[in-house]
Amino acid sequence: MQIQLFITGGTLDKVYNPLTGELVFDQTSIPAMLARGRCTLDIAVETLSLKDSLDMHDQDRTNILQRCQSCPATHIIITHGTDTMAATAEVLGKHISSKTIVLSGAMIPYTVSHSDALFNLGCAVTGVQLLPTGVYIAMNGQIFSWENVMKNRDAGIFQQHATNSVY
């Protein structure tokens, strides 16, 4: 199985700039993370952007969509910032039904202690192989369909939309 991994940026790939004291983008850590995971799968890695997902706009999502549609792979992982991951998943979910696409990222950068990035990458790599066609978010050990997922910013987790409990 050929897997395509598109990097778009997000917290996962932020690094500390000692001169400015800020977390910024420099080089992606994804290839190093796959090597650390001793991952033996055939994964093609390509960086589409290195952006905070709050800085991603319609044009960015259109570009991601087009790349997912045009690439030969039918199994695609996308690393993405968490703040608008659900929005990008929705764009992809509404337009692609014949591929398995898993979005993932991290709440703590890979280069910061106690990062969840490597755990989430393991989840994404496994999910993309096992899930049926569709668009998903793999975070916190859970897998969500694009149709029912939101980031709970207060808790720092992803969850399903609250069920409207009537009566």
Interface residue list for its own copies (CB under 8 A): 11, 16, 18-19, 21, 23, 33-34, 36-41, 107-109, 111-116, 118-127, 129-131, 138-143, 153-154, 156-157, 159
On whether the CB atoms of residues 81 and 51 are closer than 8 A, the answer is yes
Q: Which is nearer to its own copies, 65 or 147 (CB)?
A: 147
Closest approach of Cβ 70 to its own copies, in Å?
25
Sheet containing 3-9: give its strands across.
Answer: 43-51, 3-9, 75-79, 100-104, 134-139, 142-145
First-to-final CA distance of the chain: 48
Closest approach of Cβ 62 to its own copies, in Å?
25
Token reading at 147: 């149709």
Q: Which is nearer to its own copies, 23 or 87 (CB)?
A: 23
Closest approach of Cβ 146 to its own copies, in Å?
16
The DSSP bridge pattern shows strands 134-139 and 43-51 to be unpaired
Closest approach of Cβ 4 to its own copies, in Å?
14
* Phi, psi for 157 (deg, rounded to 5): -135, 165
Q: Which is nearer to its own copies, 55 or 66 (CB)?
A: 55
